[in-house]
Structure 1
Amino acid sequence: MLLNAANARYGRPEDLKQLLRAAHALDIMVYLDVVYNHFGPQLNYLHSYAERFFTSRHATGWGPAVNLEGQDGVFVREFLIENAMMWLRDYGFDGLRLDAVHALKDNSDRHFLVELAETVRNEFAGRRVHLMLENEANQAHLLRRSQGLARHYDAQWADDFHNALHVLLTGEREGY
């Protein structure tokens, strides 16, 4: 799990930052796809040395859910939020697309997605940062404004058409 490392295809961290500056010079916005919902199971050894990062209270298609609840969940939440902040602050990404957030199981009073969005909105109050969800549950309440405040998330990544077309054309139904 290398959440704080840029993919080697982009070169060194400085190369990725240079790519973002070049895109911005051309008025091109750049989003980063972040995956906080699972870490494997192939080639993932995080379970071996950080058991409390996961919980057996919830399951996902990738195994035990990421632990976002209780005392152990506090560290995990802070870790993931700081990761999002790093990409926006240190690299200058214009937004984040959060992968499969329906798999972020959280029964806390303040859901992780709300905490993440509010932290981003507070930290970057003078900057337009775009937050997009891929959410099979299509939870529209995350897109609404509440009490005159800015909305938590700006957009919903809609994979429904793609999934229906994939099943129609291939007959494959697993994951679609």
Structure 2
Amino acid sequence: PARSGKLLGLAGGDAAAIDAALPVLDELCDRMERFDTPQAASAMKLAVNLPLLAAFQALGEAALITRDYGISPERLLGIIGKSSGGAPAFAVRSAAIITEMGGTRSDSVGFSIEAVEKDLRLMDEAGDAAGFNLTLVEAVRRTAHDAVREGWGDRDLAALAAFNLRA
């Protein structure tokens, strides 16, 4: 997304500093959201990533449900992608998802599972600090943690959907 200028920019803090960075940010982002503090922008980044990461976990579990019925990853993704349960990120990463679900490592890495695990840890910490038990975050975090532990940390988020299919 950065190379094509399609990022969602989230900036917080001093307005003059953000204004000074706008020429670069405008090249990278098709939308900019400003927040009063860097912490608020960071919290929003985690909030944006939570449904994305949960969607990839859910896609992996959907693949487990359909695997024994001869439904290919291509067909699964094609049907889910056109349904109300589809996530826009599935379309962006469809080739990598299909490659990973087919048992081959994808060369494309935009958001590594290692970075995914870090974001999930930060989400968990934010929930703890606010007194909330984020059960969805915990579930996806377990999968990401296991994936990193098994050497999948440098793979793209798309591989998270395939991780539970490895056996």
Is the shorter-chain TM-score for this pair beyond 0.5, marking a shared fold? no
TM (normalized to structure 1)?
Answer: 0.27
Q: Which has the higher contact order (CA 8 A, sep 6+)?
A: 2
Q: TM-score, normalised by structure 2?
A: 0.28
- Structure with more of its chain in strand, by fraction: 1
- Higher helix content, 1 or 2: 2
